[in-house]
Protein backbone atom coordinates (compact mmCIF):
# COMPACT_ATOMS: atom_id res chain seq x y z
CA UNK A 1 0.00 0.00 0.00
CA UNK A 2 1.27 3.46 -0.91
CA UNK A 3 1.27 5.95 1.95
CA UNK A 4 -0.46 9.21 0.91
CA UNK A 5 1.90 12.19 0.81
CA UNK A 6 0.57 15.74 1.22
CA UNK A 7 3.31 18.28 0.50
CA UNK A 8 3.01 22.04 0.72
CA UNK A 9 4.78 24.14 -1.91
CA UNK A 10 5.31 27.61 -0.47
CA UNK A 11 6.79 29.04 -3.67
CA UNK A 12 8.23 32.53 -2.91
CA UNK A 13 6.35 33.21 0.31
CA UNK A 14 7.30 33.63 3.99
CA UNK A 15 10.39 34.88 5.77
CA UNK A 16 12.30 32.49 8.02
CA UNK A 17 10.60 34.04 11.05
CA UNK A 18 7.20 33.41 9.48
CA UNK A 19 8.19 29.87 8.52
CA UNK A 20 9.18 29.03 12.10
CA UNK A 21 5.92 30.51 13.38
CA UNK A 22 4.03 28.29 10.91
CA UNK A 23 6.00 25.24 12.05
CA UNK A 24 5.29 25.92 15.72
CA UNK A 25 1.56 26.20 15.02
CA UNK A 26 1.39 23.27 12.61
CA UNK A 27 3.17 20.92 15.03
CA UNK A 28 0.38 21.51 17.55
CA UNK A 29 -2.20 20.43 14.98
CA UNK A 30 -0.35 17.55 13.35
CA UNK A 31 -0.56 13.97 14.56
CA UNK A 32 1.50 11.27 12.89
CA UNK A 33 -0.83 9.05 10.95
CA UNK A 34 -1.12 7.04 7.77
CA UNK A 35 -0.59 10.28 5.83
CA UNK A 36 2.89 11.75 5.29
CA UNK A 37 3.11 15.54 5.45
CA UNK A 38 5.85 17.84 4.20
CA UNK A 39 6.71 21.43 3.36
CA UNK A 40 8.75 22.51 0.32
CA UNK A 41 10.06 25.96 1.15
CA UNK A 42 12.43 28.67 -0.16
CA UNK A 43 16.12 28.01 0.44
CA UNK A 44 16.49 30.53 3.28
CA UNK A 45 13.90 28.73 5.40
CA UNK A 46 15.03 25.13 4.93
CA UNK A 47 17.55 24.79 7.77
CA UNK A 48 15.17 26.40 10.26
CA UNK A 49 12.30 24.13 9.15
CA UNK A 50 14.44 20.98 9.39
CA UNK A 51 15.26 21.97 12.96
CA UNK A 52 11.68 22.96 13.81
CA UNK A 53 10.20 19.70 12.49
CA UNK A 54 12.85 17.40 14.00
CA UNK A 55 11.23 14.35 15.56
CA UNK A 56 7.77 15.07 14.19
CA UNK A 57 7.90 12.99 11.00
CA UNK A 58 7.09 16.11 8.93
CA UNK A 59 9.34 16.21 5.87
CA UNK A 60 11.16 19.22 4.44
CA UNK A 61 11.84 19.73 0.75
CA UNK A 62 13.51 22.29 -1.48
CA UNK A 63 11.79 23.72 -4.54
CA UNK A 64 14.72 23.35 -6.93
CA UNK A 65 18.38 22.35 -7.15
CA UNK A 66 21.10 22.38 -9.80
CA UNK A 67 22.14 19.21 -11.59
CA UNK A 68 25.88 19.97 -11.28
CA UNK A 69 27.80 19.07 -8.15
CA UNK A 70 29.27 22.57 -7.88
CA UNK A 71 30.57 25.30 -10.16
CA UNK A 72 30.17 28.84 -11.42
CA UNK A 73 26.36 28.90 -11.28
CA UNK A 74 25.54 32.12 -9.48
CA UNK A 75 22.30 31.94 -7.54
CA UNK A 76 22.02 28.14 -7.66
CA UNK A 77 22.08 25.52 -4.89
CA UNK A 78 23.60 22.04 -5.09
CA UNK A 79 22.41 18.69 -3.77
CA UNK A 80 25.30 18.63 -1.28
CA UNK A 81 24.12 21.94 0.16
CA UNK A 82 20.65 20.49 0.68
CA UNK A 83 22.09 17.28 2.15
CA UNK A 84 24.15 19.21 4.66
CA UNK A 85 21.11 20.77 6.29
CA UNK A 86 19.00 17.62 6.27
CA UNK A 87 16.61 18.28 3.38
CA UNK A 88 15.01 15.00 2.23
CA UNK A 89 12.92 16.03 -0.80
CA UNK A 90 13.17 18.38 -3.76
CA UNK A 91 10.51 19.56 -6.21
CA UNK A 92 11.88 19.22 -9.73
CA UNK A 93 10.40 20.51 -12.97
CA UNK A 94 7.54 22.58 -11.56
CA UNK A 95 5.63 24.32 -14.33
CA UNK A 96 6.71 27.71 -13.01
CA UNK A 97 10.35 26.61 -13.36
CA UNK A 98 9.58 25.50 -16.91
CA UNK A 99 7.67 28.70 -17.73
CA UNK A 100 9.91 31.33 -16.16
CA UNK A 101 13.35 29.71 -15.87
CA UNK A 102 13.68 27.61 -19.01
CA UNK A 103 13.46 24.21 -17.33
CA UNK A 104 13.28 21.43 -19.93
CA UNK A 105 12.67 17.68 -19.90
CA UNK A 106 16.44 17.28 -20.30
CA UNK A 107 17.34 19.41 -17.26
CA UNK A 108 14.60 17.71 -15.24
CA UNK A 109 16.20 14.35 -16.05
CA UNK A 110 19.67 15.57 -15.10
CA UNK A 111 18.36 16.89 -11.79
CA UNK A 112 16.64 13.58 -11.03
CA UNK A 113 19.90 11.70 -11.55
CA UNK A 114 21.76 14.11 -9.28
CA UNK A 115 19.05 14.03 -6.62
CA UNK A 116 19.10 10.22 -6.44
CA UNK A 117 22.91 10.20 -6.35
CA UNK A 118 22.71 12.33 -3.20
CA UNK A 119 19.78 10.47 -1.61
CA UNK A 120 17.32 13.31 -2.12
CA UNK A 121 13.86 12.11 -3.13
CA UNK A 122 12.50 14.02 -6.12
CA UNK A 123 8.94 15.27 -6.49
CA UNK A 124 8.87 15.53 -10.27
CA UNK A 125 6.12 17.68 -11.75
CA UNK A 126 4.31 17.09 -15.03
CA UNK A 127 1.25 18.68 -16.57
CA UNK A 128 -0.29 20.32 -19.60
CA UNK A 129 -1.29 23.91 -20.32
CA UNK A 130 -4.88 24.83 -21.18
CA UNK A 131 -4.26 25.01 -24.94
CA UNK A 132 -2.85 21.48 -24.92
CA UNK A 133 -5.83 20.09 -23.01
CA UNK A 134 -8.30 21.90 -25.25
CA UNK A 135 -6.51 20.42 -28.26
CA UNK A 136 -6.76 16.91 -26.80
CA UNK A 137 -2.98 16.62 -26.44
CA UNK A 138 -2.80 16.35 -22.64
CA UNK A 139 -1.86 12.65 -22.59
CA UNK A 140 0.83 13.07 -25.25
CA UNK A 141 2.31 16.04 -23.38
CA UNK A 142 2.41 14.27 -20.03
CA UNK A 143 3.83 11.08 -21.56
CA UNK A 144 6.63 13.06 -23.22
CA UNK A 145 7.45 14.77 -19.93
CA UNK A 146 7.43 11.47 -18.02
CA UNK A 147 9.56 9.57 -20.53
CA UNK A 148 12.04 12.45 -20.61
CA UNK A 149 12.20 12.68 -16.82
CA UNK A 150 12.74 8.92 -16.31
CA UNK A 151 15.45 8.46 -18.94
CA UNK A 152 18.15 6.05 -17.71
CA UNK A 153 16.82 5.86 -14.15
CA UNK A 154 16.93 2.47 -12.46
CA UNK A 155 13.83 0.57 -11.42
CA UNK A 156 14.70 1.07 -7.74
CA UNK A 157 15.05 4.82 -8.24
CA UNK A 158 11.72 5.10 -10.04
CA UNK A 159 9.97 3.01 -7.38
CA UNK A 160 10.91 5.62 -4.76
CA UNK A 161 9.86 8.56 -6.92
CA UNK A 162 7.05 11.01 -6.21
CA UNK A 163 5.23 12.35 -9.29
CA UNK A 164 3.02 15.42 -9.03
CA UNK A 165 0.45 15.83 -11.79
CA UNK A 166 -0.23 19.54 -12.00
CA UNK A 167 -2.40 20.72 -14.89
CA UNK A 168 -0.89 24.16 -15.48
CA UNK A 169 -4.32 25.66 -16.11
CA UNK A 170 -5.33 24.79 -12.53
CA UNK A 171 -2.33 26.25 -10.68
CA UNK A 172 -3.18 29.40 -8.77
CA UNK A 173 -6.24 30.03 -10.92
CA UNK A 174 -8.90 28.75 -8.55
CA UNK A 175 -9.86 26.34 -11.30
CA UNK A 176 -9.41 22.69 -10.35
CA UNK A 177 -9.37 19.60 -12.51
CA UNK A 178 -12.41 17.51 -11.67
CA UNK A 179 -11.63 14.51 -9.48
CA UNK A 180 -12.33 12.33 -12.50
CA UNK A 181 -9.90 14.29 -14.71
CA UNK A 182 -7.20 14.21 -12.06
CA UNK A 183 -7.72 10.51 -11.38
CA UNK A 184 -7.65 9.66 -15.08
CA UNK A 185 -4.32 11.40 -15.62
CA UNK A 186 -2.74 9.97 -12.47
CA UNK A 187 -3.78 6.52 -13.66
CA UNK A 188 -2.31 7.25 -17.08
CA UNK A 189 0.99 8.33 -15.50
CA UNK A 190 1.13 5.04 -13.61
CA UNK A 191 0.50 3.19 -16.90
CA UNK A 192 3.39 5.07 -18.57
CA UNK A 193 5.67 3.96 -15.73
CA UNK A 194 4.33 0.41 -15.94
CA UNK A 195 5.04 0.25 -19.68
CA UNK A 196 8.70 1.10 -19.03
CA UNK A 197 9.43 -0.56 -15.69
CA UNK A 198 6.62 -3.05 -15.06
CA UNK A 199 3.73 -3.06 -12.62
CA UNK A 200 5.85 -4.01 -9.59
CA UNK A 201 7.61 -0.65 -9.90
CA UNK A 202 4.64 1.44 -11.01
CA UNK A 203 2.52 0.30 -8.07
CA UNK A 204 5.09 1.75 -5.65
CA UNK A 205 5.24 5.25 -7.16
CA UNK A 206 3.39 7.94 -5.23
CA UNK A 207 1.41 10.11 -7.64
CA UNK A 208 0.10 13.39 -6.26
CA UNK A 209 -2.38 15.83 -7.71
CA UNK A 210 -1.64 19.55 -7.55
CA UNK A 211 -3.66 22.51 -8.76
CA UNK A 212 -5.82 24.65 -6.47
CA UNK A 213 -6.16 21.92 -3.83
CA UNK A 214 -8.08 23.38 -0.88
CA UNK A 215 -9.79 22.08 2.28
CA UNK A 216 -13.16 22.07 0.51
CA UNK A 217 -12.07 19.80 -2.37
CA UNK A 218 -9.27 17.74 -0.82
CA UNK A 219 -11.41 14.86 0.44
CA UNK A 220 -13.03 14.18 -2.91
CA UNK A 221 -9.69 14.38 -4.74
CA UNK A 222 -7.77 12.26 -2.23
CA UNK A 223 -10.41 9.53 -2.22
CA UNK A 224 -9.89 8.85 -5.92
CA UNK A 225 -8.26 5.48 -6.53
CA UNK A 226 -5.21 6.66 -8.48
CA UNK A 227 -4.39 9.80 -6.43
CA UNK A 228 -1.86 9.24 -3.63
CA UNK A 229 -1.65 12.74 -2.21
CA UNK A 230 -1.34 16.36 -3.15
CA UNK A 231 1.17 19.10 -3.88
CA UNK A 232 -0.57 22.07 -2.30
CA UNK A 233 0.14 25.71 -3.09
CA UNK A 234 -1.67 28.60 -1.42
CA UNK A 235 -3.63 26.49 1.05
CA UNK A 236 -0.36 25.20 2.54
CA UNK A 237 0.58 28.68 3.77
CA UNK A 238 -1.98 28.65 6.60
CA UNK A 239 -1.55 25.92 9.26
CA UNK A 240 -5.31 25.54 9.85
CA UNK A 241 -5.98 25.11 6.12
CA UNK A 242 -3.07 22.76 5.47
CA UNK A 243 -3.94 20.46 8.37
CA UNK A 244 -7.46 20.03 6.98
CA UNK A 245 -5.97 18.77 3.73
CA UNK A 246 -3.50 16.50 5.54
CA UNK A 247 -6.41 15.10 7.55
CA UNK A 248 -8.61 14.62 4.50
* Residues in the annotated binding site for substrate: 9-11, 172, 212, 233-234
Q: In terms of DSSP H, where are the helices of the chain?
A: 16-29, 43-52, 79-84, 95-101, 105-117, 130-134, 138-150, 155-159, 179-197, 199-202, 215-222, 239-246
- Span between the terminal Cα atoms of the chain, in Å: 18
Exposed, middle or buried: residue 28 (CB in 10 Å: 0-12, 13-18, 19+)?
exposed
Residue 135 DSSP symbol = T
Give dist(CA 89, CA 61) in Å, integer.
Answer: 4
Give dist(CA 186, CA 29) in Å, integer.
Answer: 29
Q: Which of 68, 131, 166, 180 is catalytic?
A: 166
Please provide residue 48's backbone torsions phi and psi, each rounded to the nearest 5 degrees. -65, -35
Residue 233 DSSP symbol = S
| Binding site, annotated residues | 9-11, 172, 212, 233-234
Q: Judge whether 94 counts as a catalytic residue.
A: yes
Q: Which of 69, 76, 94, 220 is catalytic?
A: 94
Q: Judge whether 106 counts as a catalytic residue.
A: no
State the catalytic residues.
94, 166
Amino acid sequence: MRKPFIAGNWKMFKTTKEAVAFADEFKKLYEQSDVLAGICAPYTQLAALVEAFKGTGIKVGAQNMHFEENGAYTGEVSADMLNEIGVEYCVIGHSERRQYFNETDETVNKKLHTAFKHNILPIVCVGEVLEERDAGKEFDVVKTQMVGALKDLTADQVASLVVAYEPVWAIGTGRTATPEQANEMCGYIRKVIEDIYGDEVSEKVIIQYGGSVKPNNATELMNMEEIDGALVGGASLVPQDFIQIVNF
